[in-house]
Structure 1
């Protein structure tokens, strides 16, 4: 008789036992799958250990609970490669996420395990070419490469050289559009890849696992969830557009950064790692500076030219300067295309009473309503909770009619361009005009087919569509200052990414600003210098890549209670840090950048500690994080701190 230790394929909240124990007549290997009962519910569970019951009889007798039997064994052989569970454990430890959440994200849904077709799969070959221990391996600098650019030929060559050796390739892409583009490229130039997606039918799950488990020399393509494909014999991990925010899991837990996880996967499997980016992240560029990664730079990278347009003399309410109008007129007369970037939805960002100063705000979020205009329908819209209201005719506070619509959104820019250049066709691309990929592609196809000159006004949605690189003759950032003033330590990195990506769409880039003498704009032409100066600043303040940032967030409907809990936790964390003698800097509890959302108040604390972190330092850090209550969010290495 054996005690079987398992992790249920079900999310168990932090603070509750993550590993459960059952008894069974025979030993089950690590990675096998069984059915166990939790509160009258039968669930699939992953076996992590089997222990002889006779050695633990005394301990079992003293337990307050009674061991339950294993209900059924679905797979008596491992369904994962040998590195897999150690890899998932690392994710759980590093990102301080319950291991059940990680296992739930990594494995098929319970309904898939319940299907007969999935149970008939043969997983035995997964272990054929794997090392017996799930230990990390050293990945040398020569096998960790950052490709500065988007050289498809170089990427394809590395993939081809890997599958020739009968090894598998994992290729990550940030969005569905890029996945589809690369699926077509690989099918045309090498072979048809396996597309890994989680939101598929049971039949598709079975087909995916059949291909993964029986093949070698295969290419798996997917978004960040493809990291969890149980792929044996990995020879190469490729991450396209490694700087993309889409690689940060922020919607549902577990919260993790797919690029960092991909690097760890390469260590566990001994695979080579290739990161590709037009605008490398500070973390990747810092790894090059520190000798941890090799740089392959595409010709022409590192320098960028742009025209800076001073808009301080623009008439009130107008976004298109005279100089920009001249540039756009030239584009239209030559029947070419222009891209105008403005990363704000709506028409105006706020409605203000000029007499009493009242800003019309959402009562659930205490944030300004955004003014929208769509086909003569005027609406005030809260972009955080979705609440809508009728625009006012008079101020309810002072009864004044002197209302002003301030700030610039994409609808206002598109309207101004349509009015000023009626001879051109103006297209708009944002989540209001095109919420789904099909509608977005329809707008872009119409724009490309326009023969009389076209202007595309777009938000950051345009960055998904890399097949439009080089398809414009002018790219414009309509208002640089609107984004640059956000209090975010990553803001220079984010703005540099936007500018470089805009330059990819066009040979000419213009930036409109109220501060043409800004230091950032002066140094952006030399990207290497820009990177190195920012790295120096981050080194001084323990920011990535030289430090780890952990964001703790608490939400509560009662303001005083939320603040009191935040202050109490701050004291507990400081005490724990002193007891463990750790060098962790903790900010005092402060309201979040958006302090109230959906009638819920939000407070946060920021922890910073120096990198690199050894396994022992991670263990001690986690001892500190254990004092954080379960109703707090813990975000390790977040993309956003606002």
Structure 2
């Protein structure tokens, strides 16, 4: 008789035990798959450990009230995950305070639960290479390299770049058949180089020696589903698990990465033709257009020379908001209170948070006056202004393309191909274009309304704005940045290319405010239909945590901020508590176990 420690592949609340024990008549290896019963439901589970009953008699005697159940059946008696993968799942659960079952499930390939017998041979057969004891085996197997990319659209570029290494590509959209083939060949060591999105980190590597993280700062590296992990941080842990080297590549590094690796992460100074158009001066000179005089002239010249132009517009839609000039009322989403964005092509006001659409009103619902104005600049308005510019000057307009987050994938591919193949051509684009930084080159880049990149209440705003402007400037021979503040730190850094000073100042400021990398942020969120109830619950939670901090003498390691009222989510009132933490993971998680299951916990 054996006792199995298993991880049910379901979301067990994080303040409850994540590993359960059952008895079994046979010893099963770690990573094998069984079926167990939890609250009268059949649930699949992964075995973590298997121990003989004799080894545990003392423990069982002490826990006389502990009722041990048998497993229902063995589904796969051979491991379907290796020990490295199990260790990574355990780390994910601890680091991000996520249900262990969901962390294990995230590592399992999409074909693991298929009922067809095509995947019956799915089992971990590889073993770890012990570098010190068996150097000859390492040479024989060669080494494996993983190149991480944030999005599938970058695959072609990196597959071509590493073509001599015969790489394979893996992403979340890879078919089960192909995924299975790659999984088997990676664990046997047959595949040496893998280009993949973040799911590739979970492959059963036999002899992983190097991980390259391309474009670490790309937002696509952040998982939207539990476990909500940062791919760059996970890649570091995977490298440590396999004793592999890690290389971080980025246009401009995250501040945390600069802090970790130093100046070698910064780009070298290069000769660039970048200028700043001060829109305050433009208005004083009588130019009320969205385009500066210099940018207009450069666009005209580029079209005349049959060149390529990229115009970057930070905002989607026609205008960021609809304003009543009489009472100052701004239209907000009735479900989540986010500001509604004007979309003229859809003839509606759209919430970019919950996708709710409202009709465009002619009368203010607050004061009943008909003095509503579209405020700010969106990509639709920029297109309108550009067409008007050519019409006013009797210039035959070139092909004008528009690329944004609203562009369907098939149309997106068509737009990119048209831009590559056409001259003259102008591409109006939002942040979506950053995914094509290596694939698209232009003669001119115009960046409209720089302040739109800076108007966010987030300590990473300036860093992200600088990176966006820098990437765009690397895509063209000439770059014109339009804004209202020539003394803005982002502008001065781009023009001087003194990146070291920027990062050192950022680190100094973050240290003063105890921001990452000098602490980690934990956001606790509570939602309820009743505003007063949500406020009461948040107040109780804050006091409960504060009391525990005092009892454990954690005042120097923990700072609790809030609760603060957040924007509504699907009609629910929101309360948020933010914790700045310096505690080690084990102590931090003991504290977080005080948080009820009705709260959402997110570690960043």
Task: Establish whether TM, by shorter chain, passes 0.5.
Answer: yes
Deviations for 1:302-349, whole angstroms, at most 9, x for unmatched residues?
Answer: x86631111124369731122221121121111111111112111112
Residue 632 in 1 paired to residue 599 in 2? yes
CA pair 321-13 structure 1, distance change in 2 beyond 3 A = same
Deviations for 1:514-552, whole angstroms, at most 9, x for unmatched residues?
Answer: 122224422332112111111121122221222212222
The count of residues paired between Structure 1 and Structure 2 equals 586
Out of 240, 261, 277, the position equivalent to 2:214 is 240
Residue 252 in 1 paired to residue 216 in 2? no
**1:252 aligns to what SS in structure 2?**
coil
Unaligned runs of 5+ in 1: 133-161, 638-642
Give the superposition deviation at 1:481.
Answer: 1.0
Residue 175 in 1 paired to residue 161 in 2? no
Tell me, yes or no, if the aligned pair for 2:324 and 2:372 is still in contact at 8 Å.
yes
Tell me, yes or no, if the aligned pair for 1:351 and 1:369 is still in contact at 8 Å.
yes
Task: Tell me what 2:65 maps to.
Answer: 63
Give the superposition deviation at 1:468.
Answer: 3.1
TM-score, normalised by the number of residues in structure 2: 0.91
**1:352 aligns to what SS in structure 2?**
strand
**1:50 aligns to what SS in structure 2?**
strand
CA pair 519-272 structure 1, distance change in 2 beyond 3 A = closer
Give the superposition deviation at 1:170.
Answer: 1.4
Give the superposition deviation at 1:217.
Answer: 5.5
- After TM superposition, the structure 1 = structure 2 runs for residues 587-606 of structure 1, keeping only pairs within 5 Å, are 587-592=561-566, 595-606=567-578
Residue 323 in 1 paired to residue 275 in 2? no
Residue 279 in 1 paired to residue 279 in 2? no
- After TM superposition, the structure 1 = structure 2 runs for residues 215-614 of structure 1, keeping only pairs within 5 Å, are 215-216=189-190, 218-249=192-223, 251-289=224-262, 295=264, 300=269, 306-312=274-280, 313-314=282-283, 318-374=289-345, 378-422=347-391, 423-432=397-406, 434-436=407-409, 438-451=410-423, 453-469=424-440, 471-524=441-494, 525=496, 526-582=498-554, 583-592=557-566, 595-610=567-582
Give the superposition deviation at 1:40.
Answer: 5.0
CA distance in 1, matches of 2:273, 2:90: 46
TM-score, normalised by the number of residues in structure 1: 0.85
CA distance in 1, matches of 2:342, 2:298: 29
CA pair 61-271 structure 1, distance change in 2 beyond 3 A = closer
Give the superposition deviation at 1:396.
Answer: 4.0
Deviations for 1:14-61, whole angstroms, at most 9, x for unmatched residues?
Answer: 234321222212222222222333355444321111122245454498
Deviations for 1:55-74, whole angstroms, at most 9, x for unmatched residues?
Answer: 54544983364512341241
Give the superposition deviation at 1:201.
Answer: 4.3
- After TM superposition, the structure 1 = structure 2 runs for residues 22-33 of structure 1, keeping only pairs within 5 Å, are 22-33=22-33
Unaligned runs of 5+ in 2: 133-137, 392-396
- After TM superposition, the structure 1 = structure 2 runs for residues 50-89 of structure 1, keeping only pairs within 5 Å, are 50-56=50-56, 58-59=60-61, 62-63=64-65, 65-76=67-78, 78-89=79-90
**1:307 aligns to what SS in structure 2?**
strand
CA distance in 2, matches of 1:348, 1:231: 49
Give the superposition deviation at 1:189.
Answer: 2.5
**1:360 aligns to what SS in structure 2?**
coil
**1:275 aligns to what SS in structure 2?**
strand
Task: Tell me what 2:394 maps to.
Answer: none
Deviations for 1:159-211, whole angstroms, at most 9, x for unmatched residues?
Answer: xxx9997111111100111123222333x3221x2323344444334223222
Deviations for 1:443-485, whole angstroms, at most 9, x for unmatched residues?
Answer: 121122222x22211011101113434x111112100112212
Task: Tell me what 2:48 maps to.
Answer: 48
CA distance in 2, matches of 1:175, 1:184: 16
Tell me, yes or no, if the aligned pair for 1:233 and 1:269 is still in contact at 8 Å.
yes
